[in-house]
A and B are shown apart, each in its own frame.
Chain A
């Protein structure tokens, strides 16, 4: 438990992705089986642990502590698990040495073997045997509230990193492919990663297969390529998914391999084929039923839910626009060409329910210029660009340069005014590098700048120096790590902000939310009075909604 607790303590405070990877890979390398496997499961959200209610924990701590002293402590710390982990020893000094602490594997096995009436005394006993930091980790696991900013994908990347470098290194896509066929504590997986055993053989084929990704089109990429070798498809603004169906087991996975079957019973229930399909999950209705595809913000209503209500299913029906076929039945056809696979895919989709599945149409073109014109003015507002795929390309997991490209519609641009700045983390900890920006709007108090978003990348190191200096020289107020800067019609800092999309939002005061905003240019040539108005943004939203 100690190793896992130490890892959590560090992960919570480590903002950088590389820093997290180092901490995770070191943990996987240095911690023995089965503990590291349970640690991995906990991080990836795959650990099944008998849950403990906060009310019971509160009872346990009050068995040994004055309620008023507990209340003072809880008020100060603010987090129940952390408070209990800190006050559990009361007036005693923590004298638990690392060797005698229960291991994570032991804790998991013990908790899961308990009968309902035994939980209380078992938790009490574990809390007595663990040190402060391990108690915190245990309580977070047992209350199911492990929030540490590590995704399953990041944990898998760390597994790849721990497997070595160069020849012996196992690619993260291979790990993702195996993932859903394995269960904690993943001993065969670690044995293979460490080169001690062969790659685990999976019993169920209805598992996730790592997806093939495209590279963005960059300057000069296309002129070297013959348009006749390539096919184009619209790039739809939904989420990339994989449907996997075999022997009655039907699954829906996100692009990174998260199982989202439970949230989309409408789509999964309609699957009438066997095999693995790659496609875009969208809300609305299929092209074959002559109804429009709805926007990403409508799709968002259905995302990040464990279950879904009947009303949700009626109001926001989901469907899949199919791009590719990886397995036909149980036959792996990934080595066939894109055109071959597409022919098989067409047959499958033909026989599939028309309201839940359609085939992504090809966009005919003969020159790159022609495709460019189509890309800039797509026929549907939910299209965010085109995909370019080599006709003879096999389906290869990962992001290879060459066979597939994505060519997005140009980003949106606005001129906004810097309002607040916050210091960054890690190597940016001495720079004001996170900027909140605003645009003009008519408010009850008159014409004002209202915040519309926040951006912390897009600028160069040299530009950051300029931005930071402006913040330090023009601070008008401070709120903890945040500074408010001068922003008046004739004095302030105008930023050109680029973003990929814009939606309505009830969470933001301005009523709009940008996707992937970034600082495209510093507009020191402009005055704040020249910046955009909120009405420009709302018009963008309306144009998108069609």
Chain B
């Protein structure tokens, strides 16, 4: 069977006509398999949703109980049959609950990796390589410039800055799902035990992570009862980056803006965003990790989805690995 007969791109996202399901569809469909809870992959309004328990929980937290007609939780490694197509979910190491989806029929196996990373992250299960014929990889950081440093060294930069500027509130921008909890966990693992203050938009997800057994230490809402800026002197505050440009940020003492993101590797990106302290911490693969993952899995063909497709396709060409871009739309690069 031709791989395109089993899975091919459509305007709504990747579609399996035999199994009658989409993967991470960007518009409402009858049946959706969801890799993880980031809003560009997990949207509300589908007929039926299959995902890991944690991804379903996260979708409910974000969209409310009626986010889909029906839902089915799939455990890692569990095999299910959808109209003769065999499906299983495997950890992707991206955020809590994130999965790769394996799609198999008549001896042809396609892995949709979703978003994934290879670096250590105590807040989610690590990526498991699955041998396959077609490996569909993301390419968010698919350029030879991207080399994510050791995240602990980045957290040390935050500590150095807290020593140098003990008066200033350090506002660490981090996306609400995954990055925020990972950053808080990293700060704890580097030995910081002071309270960490969080923006209201993070509260539900942080509580959920804690409920799933991920210890985030003493986290408190960044609210001021007496509107006293000195309350946050030298404090670490974690919030969504958009909040720092908002009136919300005025409660802090001479805020110093940090941002935990893979994009922070490029100076101009940091400068344009008014970021004083870039922390290069990413939930995606960097360039060496993308290459080593492809080499490790050894698929006969690579399909590249969202991100910098052209550079990764070029690298595959140079390595004589058949590769093509899928040109899927609707996945934003903001999610890191």
Q: How far is the CA of A92 from the CA of B287 in the complex (A)?
A: 9
Question: Across the interface, which residues of B come within 8 angstroms of A114, CB to CB?
Answer: none
Q: How far is the CA of A481 from the CA of B300 in the complex (A)?
A: 45
Given contacts A66-B318, A91-B288, A132-B147, contact A481 B274 (CB under 8 A): yes
Known: A72-B310, A76-B266, A425-B276. 4 other contacts (CB 8 A): A13-B267, A72-B144, A73-B143, A481-B272
Contact B274 A87, beta carbon cutoff 8 Å:
no
Q: Does A122 contact B (CB under 8 A)?
A: no
Q: Closest 5 interchain pairs by CB? A: A86-B145, A430-B249, A87-B144, A427-B254, A91-B291
Which of B256, B292, B314 is the one whose CB lies under 8 Å from A91?
B292
Given contacts A92-B288, A430-B247, contact A69 B311 (CB under 8 A): yes
Question: Across the interface, which residues of B come within 8 angstroms of A19, CB to CB?
Answer: 165, 276
Question: Across the interface, which residues of B come within 8 angstroms of A429, CB to CB?
Answer: 244-245, 249, 255, 257, 274
Q: How far is the CA of A93 from the CA of B150 in the complex (A)?
A: 10
Question: Across the interface, which residues of B come within 8 angstroms of A480, CB to CB?
Answer: 272
Q: Does B149 contact A (CB under 8 A)?
A: yes
Q: How far is the CA of A72 from the CA of B318 in the complex (A)?
A: 15
Which of B249, B266, B270 is the one whose CB lies under 8 Å from A77?
B266
Q: How far is the CA of A9 from the CA of B292 in the complex (A)?
A: 29
Contact A76 B292, beta carbon cutoff 8 Å:
no
Q: Does A26 contact B (CB under 8 A)?
A: yes
Q: Does A462 contact B (CB under 8 A)?
A: no
Contact A72 B308, beta carbon cutoff 8 Å:
yes
Q: Does B106 contact A (CB under 8 A)?
A: no
Question: Across the interface, which residues of A come within 8 angstroms of B149, CB to CB?
Answer: 94, 132
Q: Does B281 contact A (CB under 8 A)?
A: no
Q: How far is the CA of A87 from the CA of B249 in the complex (A)?
A: 36
Question: Across the interface, which residues of B come within 8 angstroms of A82, CB to CB?
Answer: 266-267
Question: Across the interface, which residues of B come within 8 angstroms of A86, CB to CB?
Answer: 144-147, 265-266
Q: Does B120 contact A (CB under 8 A)?
A: no
Binding site for A on B (CB under 8 A): 143-147, 149, 164-165, 244-250, 254-257, 265-268, 270-272, 274-278, 287-288, 291-292, 308, 310-311, 314-315, 318
Q: Which residues between 95 and 141 of chain A lie within 8 Å of chain B, taking CB atoms? A: 132
Contact B254 A426, beta carbon cutoff 8 Å:
yes
Q: Count of chain A residues with Cβ under 8 Å from any Cβ of B?
A: 41
Contact A77 B274, beta carbon cutoff 8 Å:
no
Which of B246, B266, B318 is the one whose CB lies under 8 Å from A430?
B246
Contact B145 A423, beta carbon cutoff 8 Å:
no
Q: How far is the CA of A15 from the CA of B272 in the complex (A)?
A: 12
Q: Which residues between 441 and 479 of chain A lie within 8 Å of chain B, taking CB atoms? A: none
Question: Across the interface, which residues of A come within 8 angstroms of B145, CB to CB?
Answer: 73, 76-77, 83, 86-87
Q: Does A56 contact B (CB under 8 A)?
A: no
Q: Least Cβ distance of B195 to chain A in Å?
A: 22
Q: Does A79 contact B (CB under 8 A)?
A: yes
Q: How far is the CA of A90 from the CA of B256 in the complex (A)?
A: 33
Q: Does A65 contact B (CB under 8 A)?
A: yes
Contact B276 A13, beta carbon cutoff 8 Å:
yes
Q: How far is the CA of A132 from the CA of B153 in the complex (A)?
A: 13
Q: How far is the CA of A77 from the CA of B288 in the complex (A)?
A: 18
Given contacts A65-B144, A426-B254, contact A93 B288 (CB under 8 A): yes
Q: Which residue on chain A has the smallest CB distance to residue B247?
A: A430
Q: Which residue on chain B has the smallest CB distance to residue A465?
A: B250
Q: Does A68 contact B (CB under 8 A)?
A: yes
Given contacts A72-B143, A427-B255, A429-B249, contact A22 B165 (CB under 8 A): yes
Q: How far is the CA of A191 from the CA of B24 in the complex (A)?
A: 64
Q: How far is the CA of A26 from the CA of B275 in the complex (A)?
A: 21
Question: Across the interface, which residues of A come within 8 angstroms of B245, CB to CB?
Answer: 423, 429-430
Contact B144 A425, beta carbon cutoff 8 Å:
no
Q: Which residue on chain B has the smallest CB distance to residue A14?
A: B276
Q: Does A12 contact B (CB under 8 A)?
A: yes
Contact A12 B291, beta carbon cutoff 8 Å:
no
Question: Across the interface, which residues of A come within 8 angstroms of B277, CB to CB?
Answer: 10, 13
Q: Does A340 contact B (CB under 8 A)?
A: no
Q: Which residue on chain A has the smallest CB distance to residue B264?
A: A13
A258-292 CB mask vs B (1 if < 8 Å, else 0) is: 00000000000000000000000000000000000
Question: Across the interface, which residues of B come within 8 angstroms of A66, CB to CB?
Answer: 314-315, 318
